[in-house]
Structure 1
Amino acid sequence: MKTNILILGTLSCALLIACNSKEKKTEELYEPTTAIVEDPVERGGYLLNSNGCHDCHSPKKFTEKGMELDPDRLLSGHPANEELPPYDEKTAKSYVLFSMGLTSTTGPWGTSFAANLTPHATGLGTWTEDQFINCIRKGLYKGLDGSRPLLPPMPWKHYANFTDNDLKAIFAYLKTMKPIENIVPAPIASKMN
């Protein structure tokens, strides 16, 4: 009988140790890791490319695979020479119309055009980091106090949730882009207002 209890006791002890060491391994797997200091430009590229900036700010082209980003005009905004198709102004208050490349949007506010985000003078070339942060935090054109608000569909309230370091990283990344000359048209106010 003593032998059975000893074996049972040893087995229980081994089971307890095995369970505890599995718990320990599980805890180690899910333990938060310490933050790794990343290159701000790489971080900015990751944030920009994973948050839909290309959807509106990069012209598209049609290929055999469908609509794709135009690699020669990344983040250059609405093409200055692109003519918009006519639309029904009477019903413009009841829908939103995107251009084929998604770089312009027409709705109840009028027509807005995606900005040139490249470091060319026609884009962000003369902007300061503070202007960029102010633009995103407050939703102001060129980040200038007293300027007009950013127009739909720019989701600046979403991007305003980024930390200052995230916004600085995005700005640093944008400054490394190929500068593209493209004077984006001014917004067109709605005739229905």
Structure 2
Amino acid sequence: MRKSLLLITGLVLTIACLSRCSNNKADVPATTVATTEAEKPNFGGFDTQVKWGEHLVTIGGCNDCHTPKKMTPAGPADDSTLMLSGHPETLPAPEVDRKAMESKGLVVTSDFTAWIGPWGITYSANLTPDPSGLGNWTEEQFLYALRNSISKGMAGGRPLMPPMSMMPVKHMSDDELKAIFAYLKTIKPVKNVSVQPTPPALARK
């Protein structure tokens, strides 16, 4: 009888111990999952930072000014072979009466990569990762340039010119700008030296 009681007690303790261990094991994955979910980066609902950046570049209309155009049966279209490479360095600005335009406050563009206005002539920059574009830029430079509208992202540099200086990119979050920079670093590099802006015709003597 005494041996039976001892045996039953041992079984009960063993079952209780196994049950407790099992519960503890069940708790571990839940805690791990919760921690992992909390630490998972938020890329605006996209799987990766680069995908998020691509989306922001698309909806932000960056291609409108920074990608040269080619003529198609349906009209002008982005030239995908030169995507985001800026105004072609060998392409002259449209020939117009700049003094007449400037005096009337008019703005003219031929393919959206070169803009003529009261401020002079501005040319869209090369945003590809080629050394002639953003190849040697740091993330910090990129954020500084867009946040402060400063060319080259360097303190003391010249201000960005219209129409870029009129764009609302300065209101983007740091994470959004970092995603854009990450995406731009993945696109095809295109060699094309950005053309420097030309002063207004009326300012010349």
Report the TM-score, using the length of structure 1 for normalisation.
Answer: 0.78
Question: Which has a greater percent of helix?
Answer: 2
Is the 8 Å Cα contact of residues 136 and 156 (structure 1) preserved in structure 2? no
Residue 109 of structure 2, aligned match among 77, 98, 119? 98
Residue 112 of structure 1, aligned match among 122, 128, 141? 122
Residue 74 of structure 1, aligned match among 83, 95, 100? 83
Change (3 A) 1:52 1:37: closer
Aligned residue in 2 for 1:151: 161
- Shift in Å at residue 87 of structure 1? 1.1
| In the alignment, structure 1 residue 129 sits paired with structure 2 residue 127 | no
| In the alignment, structure 1 residue 47 sits paired with structure 2 residue 94 | no
Could you list the per-position Cα deviations for residues 80-124 of structure 1 after superposition, in whole angstroms to 9, with x for gaps in the alignment? 11122321122122200112x210001111100000000000000
Alignment length, in residue pairs?
Answer: 159
Identity %: 42
Amino acid corresponding to residue 143 of structure 2 in structure 1: I
| Runs of 4+ with >4 A deviation | 34-37
Bigger radius of gyration: 2
- How much is the aligned-residue C-alpha RMSD, in angstroms? 1.6
- Shift in Å at residue 184 of structure 1? 1.9
Aligned residue in 2 for 1:84: 93
Change (3 A) 1:157 1:61: closer
Amino acid corresponding to residue 97 of structure 1 in structure 2: V
- Shift in Å at residue 164 of structure 1? 0.4
Is the 8 Å Cα contact of residues 134 and 143 (structure 1) preserved in structure 2? yes
For structure 1, list consecutive stretches of 5 or more residues without a partner in the other structure: 1-33
Is the 8 Å Cα contact of residues 75 and 118 (structure 1) preserved in structure 2? yes
For structure 2, list consecutive stretches of 5 or more residues without a partner in the other structure: 1-41
DSSP-derived class of the 2:156 partner: coil
